[in-house]
Every structure is written in C-alpha cells, then in structure tokens.
C-alpha cells in the first residue's frame, strides 16, 4: 500500500473510532495479511480496544466496519471491508486503488520508494575497519556488503550518510607486520634470520618484502607516494611501506566488491591529536577511575558493565577500548548524533565498556550523548563451500578464504547479494556452486532473470511491430484492464516497496530488501506464466506493458541499492 493510501485508511479508521466512542488518540496499525486471501490490509484495533471499551472484539469490529462503509460510501477506494476471526478487520482495495501504484512508479521512476523523512539528519556508518596487516577476510567482506547496502538504504530515507573506514594503524599488530616483512626481506637477501613468533606468515608478506627490496614505490589510493629505501635495517621505512602497500591492496579488493568509503580515519591520529589523553583525563576528572597494582582502572560497573576495566596497564600502554572511546567522542564532536558500527559478534563484549567510557567522558567535553551511542550491527562469520567441500585456507593469506577469493570465484553481484541475503546475526554457509548456478535456487540469478525476462518481452514487442512505450507515454494508458488476480497481486507487491526500504533501514536489515525483491520476482513470474502481454488488443497490451515498465523500474531501484547489475539478457531462453 502506498504511503498516501495507508494514511488515508488510518485516518478513516481513526475517524470511525471517534464516532463509535473509542478513546481519543487510539493508535491504528495496519499490516499486510500473511495469507493474501485475507485481504489487502488488516487491522486489529478492535481486539486492542476490547478491554478498554469492555466489549467483545467482534462487537467493536462490527461497529467499525459499519461506520467505515458509511464514511466511504461515496468513494471507490475499497472493494470490501469485513470482519474476520476474533475481530480482525480485513480490507480489500478496489482495482483502481491498486492500479494507482503503476502511475506513481512511472512518475517517480528511480526516486520511487525514496523518503525525505530524515532529510538533513547526519549519520556515520563505520565498517570493515581492518588492520592494514594483510588481505581482507570473509568477515570484512560481509561487513563491506552490509555496510554499503545499509548506507544506500539510509540515503533512500533522506539521511546524509558518511561511510567511514577506521584504520588501526597503531599498536602491536603494525609492529609485528613490520618485523615480519623485515625478516622475509632479509631471507630473500640470503640472510639467516629467526622469524618472529607472532609474525604474519602468509605469502603476501614475501610479496611486500620483494617489492621493498626492489624499491618499487607505492602510489596510494589517496594520492600519496611512499618510497622504499631498500634498506632491510630501516624498520620505520619498512613499516610505512608495508602499511601503505597493504592499504592499497585492501582498497583494490574492496573496489572489486563495489565497496567505497567517504572518509578514512587513522587510529594513530587519536594519539598525535592527543584525543586519547584527553579522553582518559575526562574520565579521571569525572571520578570514575582508580589505581590498583600499578594499573589505571575504569569504574565501568557504574554504567552497567559486568566488571571494571583496565584503561592503562602497568607498562604504561592503553588497553584497546580506550582509543575506541576517544574515536567515538570524535565522531560526536564532528556532528554525528547517530553512529552505527558494523562488527563481528566477537566484539559484543566491547559494547558496554565503550558506551560506558563515552558517558563518563562526555560531561567534560560538554556533550549530551545518547546512552545507546554508538549503535551496533553485529554479524556472524561464514564458511565457504566449493565442490561440496569446506574451503579452509587461502595460501596467499596463510589463513581462511579472503574477500578477493570470493569475488574471483563468483563475481561481484553474487558475492554482494549472498553476503546480505541473511540476517546479519544468522549463521550461513556460502555455497560457491549455488552462486554460479543458473537456477531458481540461486537468488541473484532469480532476481536478474526477472529483469532480463521483462527486457526480452520489450524486445519481442518491437520485433512484432508493437510500440514499447516510454514512461511518459505509458502514463496516458488506461490501466483498467489490469484486473486479473496475478496483476492485482503484482501491483500490491509493487506498492510495498517504499515501506520495505523504510523498515529495512530502521531495523538495520538489508536482507529484508532481498526478501522483498524475491517476492516481487516471484509475483512477476506468476503473472508471466498466467497472462500473455503481447496480445493483439491494444488497450490490454498497453496496460500490461505499463505494468512491466513499473516492475522493471522497481527491480532496478532495488538492484541499485543492493549494488548489483541489471542485465538485459541471461543465458536462458525467454519467450512470450
């Protein structure tokens, strides 16, 4: 149901409620019945009011139905309003009401489904945020796809979205990378060295070392040139070179997945800008710290954490959640009242302490930060199966399957769609063979096939000498012939697209868009199998062509948000 239509129904029910004596301000919720035979929209307000009005739900529903029919007597908006079950009100819209969605899509085109509800509101999405110490793994791939699609969903709702990558370019991992590359470089020069116990052992380390020895400069994606001295004793130069090299590689891999960022934030800057020191001082000034056994502790239990946390170890180094607190204070200071982090479920334990640190420090900075800042979307890891067997290792990375492995095996479209096809916190296995198959079980193929099938019908229309209308021309067509069950069902589904985008954004659920597009494709295929589009009778043919223009447009709109292509041809015979 279109937003304007939904509001009309809600307002009408609210007016009917007032006239039957229901409490003022009774909320009216509408939902699409799970079984389509139960109507186009249902309302359970009668059951909600039974206790307050001290009447059986069906009695209240009967009064409401009578009043709704009276109020809409001069309108052709509804075709049927009736009571069902214990007191549901089931409503069927008229054919003309359902046909209105086709006109709206033809008018709005690629803006159909977009909302201005959050226009001007800023939102920061942080995801991937990998240490620049090696190739991106499957967790990073899932974050990249989830974050990119979620950013598109938020933009469809009017938000000003900034996509941010937080580089952990400081600390022990970076030192381990530098000494690993140094060790491999010396080995390549024929020196006998002891490889670091905590070093990185993938083949990529040898590649970095060889290019360092060969003094190949690194032109980074953000325009910087990092030179190599070739000196295997110059550990600082090796560190700078290796970080730049691997940042470049990570960026290339993300580009292959179609993932891009608006901003890159360096962990090292939190130290050079003294943000970490200021955050620690703010928490100390709030009286939320104490010393014990040479370490500085944070009273995070004052904010609901299960135990207090060490902030500064007895060797003088900060624990990893401290720069996280400083980083999020910086997010708020930069004007982002809402921030969302996409991370693996292994980060669940950090949420309470990071939020606690933010709350403890905020007063000193004069910030009024919401207690749920930042929000988190946590995802599970996945396993990859190929040829029916679990793929355990990537030789180049020395660990599990990498992001670029996945893209190389199945392509960008399949990788992206499969990575967001399930709820973020749901376990799932990535089946490479399924992702490559041309079958209805492959969701990306199923969706793209629906689009290609529509394009094929248009091509066949031209071959038969029929005019394929433009959007503007189709607006002039009569849509009254669109009255078969499959046509009415298809138009109902088209009208659900805007609300799908809104709900997917609000619930941080990109998978909901995939689910919707599967349903739309299924309804289109059902229509295709039941009705012939290219009939000789022009009024019916044109109405159905207009309907297909609308379906194709919504598929394209959804594909754009998912970041997948909309091919006009696929390798399956399509006939109409």
518: which 2 tokens? Answer: 């599967």
Task: Answer whether residue 418 is part of any domain.
Answer: no
**CATH number assigned to the domain comprising residue 76:** 3.30.1360.70
Task: Answer whether residue 183 is part of any domain.
Answer: yes
State which of 93, 110, 141 marks the end of a domain: 93
- Kindly provide the residue ranges of all beta strands, DSSP E only, lying in 64-117, ordered along the sequence: 78-84, 88-93
Task: Answer whether residue 487 is part of any domain.
Answer: yes
Q: Cα–Cα distance between 284 and 356 in angstroms, integer?
A: 13
Task: Answer whether residue 73 is part of any domain.
Answer: yes
State which of 258, 293, 311 marks the end of a domain: 258
Q: Would you give per-residue pLDDT tens digits along the chain (576 residues)?
A: 888 999 999 999 999 999 999 999 999 999 988 888 888 999 999 999 999 999 999 999 999 999 999 999 989 999 999 999 999 999 999 999 999 999 999 999 999 999 999 999 999 999 999 989 999 999 999 999 999 999 999 999 999 999 999 988 877 889 999 999 999 999 999 999 999 999 998 899 999 999 999 999 999 877 889 999 999 999 999 999 999 999 999 999 999 999 999 999 999 999 999 999 999 999 999 999 999 999 999 999 999 999 999 999 999 989 989 999 999 999 999 999 999 999 999 889 899 999 999 999 999 999 999 999 999 999 998 999 999 999 986 656 566 789 999 999 999 999 999 999 999 999 889 999 999 999 999 999 999 999 999 999 999 999 999 999 999 999 999 999 999 999 999 999 999 999 999 999 999 999 999 999 999 999 999 999 999 999 999 999 999 999 999 999 999 999 999 999 999 998 654 444
509: which 2 tokens? Answer: 């659920």
Task: Answer whether residue 458 is part of any domain.
Answer: yes
* Number of domains observed in the structure of the chain: 3
Range of the domain at 55: 3-93
**CATH number assigned to the domain comprising residue 452:** 1.10.730.10
State which of 258, 281, 300 marks the end of a domain: 258
Task: Answer whether residue 457 is part of any domain.
Answer: yes
213: which 2 tokens? Answer: 């020895």
Measured in whole angstroms, how far is the alpha carbon of residue 251 from the centre of its chain? 20
**Cis status of the peptide bond prior to 374, with omega within 30 of 0:** yes
Task: Answer whether residue 423 is part of any domain.
Answer: no
Q: Cα–Cα distance between 288 and 290 in angstroms, integer?
A: 7
| pTM for this predicted structure | 0.93
DSSP 413-441: HHHHHHHHSS-TTS-EEEEHHHHH--STT
Which position has the token pair 């960026």? 251
Residue 228 · residue 239 · CB < 8 Å: no
Q: Cα–Cα distance between 180 and 192 in angstroms, integer?
A: 14
Q: Which residues fall within 8 angstroms of residue 22, CB to CB, at 6 or more apart?
A: 49, 52, 53, 60
């Amino acid at each position: 149901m279109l937003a304007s239509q939904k509001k009309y129904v809600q307002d009408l029910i609210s007016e009917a409620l007032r006239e039957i004596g229901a409490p003022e301000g009774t909320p009216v919720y509408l939902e699409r019945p799970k079984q389509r035979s139960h109507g186009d929209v249902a309302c359970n307000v009668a059951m909600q009011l039974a206790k307050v009005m001290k009447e059986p739900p069906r009695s209240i529903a009967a009064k409401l139905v009578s009043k709704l029919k009276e109020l809409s007597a001069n309108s052709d908006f509804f075709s049927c309003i009736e009571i069902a079950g214990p007191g549901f009100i089931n409503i069927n819209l008229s054919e003309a009401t359902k046909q209105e969605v086709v006109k709206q899509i033809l008018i709005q085109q690629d803006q159909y489904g977009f909302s201005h509800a959050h226009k001007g509101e800023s939102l920061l999405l942080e995801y991937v945020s990998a240490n620049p110490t090696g190739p991106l793994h499957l967790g990073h791939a899932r974050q990249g796809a989830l974050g990119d699609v979620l950013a598109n969903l938020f933009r469809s709702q009017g938000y000003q979205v900034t996509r941010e990558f937080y580089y952990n370019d400081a600390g022990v991992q970076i030192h381990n990378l530098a000494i690993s590359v140094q060790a491999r470089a010396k080995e390549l020069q024929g020196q006998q060295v002891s490889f670091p116990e905590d070093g990185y052992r993938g083949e990529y380390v040898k590649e970095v070392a060889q290019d360092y020895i060969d003094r190949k400069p690194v032109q980074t994606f953000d325009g910087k040139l990092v030179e190599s001295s070739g000196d295997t004793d110059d550990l600082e130069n090796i560190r700078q070179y290796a970080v730049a090299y691997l940042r470049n590689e990570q960026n290339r891999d993300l580009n292959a997945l179609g993932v891009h960022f608006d901003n890159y934030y360096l962990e090292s800057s939190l130290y050079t800008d003294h943000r970490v020191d200021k955050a620690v001082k703010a928490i100390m000034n709030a009286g939320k710290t104490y010393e014990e056994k040479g370490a500085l502790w944070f009273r995070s239990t004052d904010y609901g954490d299960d135990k207090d946390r060490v902030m500064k170890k007895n060797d003088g180094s900060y624990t990893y959640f401290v720069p996280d607190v400083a980083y999020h204070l910086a997010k708020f200071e930069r004007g982002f009242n809402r921030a969302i982090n996409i991370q693996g479920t292994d980060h669940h334990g950090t949420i309470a302490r990071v939020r606690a640190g933010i709350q403890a420090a905020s007063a000193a900075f004069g910030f009024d930060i919401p207690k749920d800042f930042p929000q988190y979307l946590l995802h599970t890891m996945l396993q990859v199966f190929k040829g029916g067997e679990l793929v355990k290792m990537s030789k180049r990375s020395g660990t599990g399957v990498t992001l670029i492995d996945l893209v190389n095996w199945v392509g960008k479209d399949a990788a992206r769609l499969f990575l967001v096809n399930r709820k973020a916190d749901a376990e799932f296995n990535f089946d490479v063979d399924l992702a490559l198959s041309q079958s209805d079980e492959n969701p990306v193929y199923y969706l793209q096939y629906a689009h290609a099938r529509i394009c094929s019908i248009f091509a066949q229309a031209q071959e038969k000498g029929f005019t394929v209308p433009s959007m503007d021309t189709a607006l002039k067509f009569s849509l009254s012939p669109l009255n078969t069950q499959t046509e009415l069902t298809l138009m109902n589904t088209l009208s659900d697209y805007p609300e799908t985008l809104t709900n997917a954004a609000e619930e941080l659920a990109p998978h909901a868009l995939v689910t919707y597009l599967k349903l739309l494709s299924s309804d289109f295929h059902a229509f295709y199998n039941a009705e012939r589009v290219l009939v000789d009778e022009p009024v019916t043919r044109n109405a159905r062509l207009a309907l297909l223009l609308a379906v194709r447009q919504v598929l394209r709109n959804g594909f754009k948000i998912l970041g997948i292509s909309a091919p006009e041809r696929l390798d399956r015979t399509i006939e109409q």
